Structure 1
Amino acid sequence: MIEPGQAIKCPEVDGYLTGCLPYLSAGGELSPEPARCSGVKSLIAAVKTPADKRDACNCVQEAANHFPSLKDDAAQALPRKCGVTLDIPISKSVNCDNLS
């Protein structure tokens, strides 16, 4: 867990979203299981500042680019399917510097 005042790091972000890979690779054909949604919710809780958003976005983008089977449509729909709002796009091509 990230302590207040600490920057979010990619290993933490990766840990939150690792369980989502089967869903993201299947193109959203699977329903996101509670454990997958739990990771998304934990990521939301960890992101406190605009700098955290940009850092987490860069981590998500870097991780997404390592998985060619990841489906952008499924990635963008994941937070909604989990019933939450995530201010960090899960995408291979977003400009993270524009997040505030």
Structure 2
Amino acid sequence: MKSCVAAIFALVALVLLVSHRGEAMTCGRVDVALAPCIGYLTGRDGDTPSPRCCAGVKAVKEMAQTTADKRACCSCVKDAANRHQDLKDAAAQSLPAKCDVQMDIIVSRDVNCDKIN
């Protein structure tokens, strides 16, 4: 009986972990996190990203912990970059550094997300 209860508990924990991870990394969440950066990325808000933008960059980094999550997140960022034709490449590439965030994800229209480790 104890092993059955332990097995059920382990299964429930696994389901919760998988469902939580699935919620953690979605393009919708990435888009919402980076939405405050659009003004900076298009040059409308000057040369410095806002604190809300940088908080979003940090949130994206937290979402992308595994290689699979990083690649998925990269694809979301790439798709978002392609939706904004007025995005400034230099601003996009400097965003993590300006927010003092070390990221494996490059904000770019043409990044190969499959090469992220």
Give the TM-score normalised by the residue count of structure 1: 0.90
* Distance (whole Å) between structure 1 residues aligned to residue 17 and residue 42 of structure 2: 33
- Unmatched tracts of structure 1, length 5 or more: none
Rg (Cα) greater in structure: 2
1:79 aligns to 2:113 (yes or no):
no
- Deviation string, structure 1 residues 13-36 (Cα, Å, up to 9, x no partner): 111101100000008833111111
* Distance (whole Å) between structure 1 residues aligned to residue 101 and residue 55 of structure 2: 10
* Distance (whole Å) between structure 2 residues aligned to residue 19 and residue 67 of structure 1: 14
Give the TM-score normalised by the residue count of structure 2: 0.78
- Unmatched tracts of structure 2, length 5 or more: 1-15
1:53 aligns to 2:74 (yes or no):
no
Cα deviation for residue 77 of structure 1 reads: 0.2
SS in 2 for 1:13: helix
Counterparts of residues 1-100 of structure 1 (less than 5 Å)? 4-5=17-18, 6-7=21-22, 8-26=25-43, 29-100=46-117
- Deviation string, structure 1 residues 42-69 (Cα, Å, up to 9, x no partner): 1111111000000000000001000000
For the aligned residue pairs, the C-alpha RMSD in angstroms reads: 1.7
* Runs of 4+ residues deviating >3 angstroms: none
- Given that 1:28 and 1:74 are in contact with CA atoms closer than 8 Å, whether structure 2 keeps it comes out as no
- Given that 2:36 and 2:50 are in contact with CA atoms closer than 8 Å, whether structure 1 keeps it comes out as no
Which structure carries more relative contact order (alpha carbon 8 Å, separation 6+)? 1
Structure 1 vs Structure 2: percent identity of aligned residues?
43
Richer in helix (by share): 2
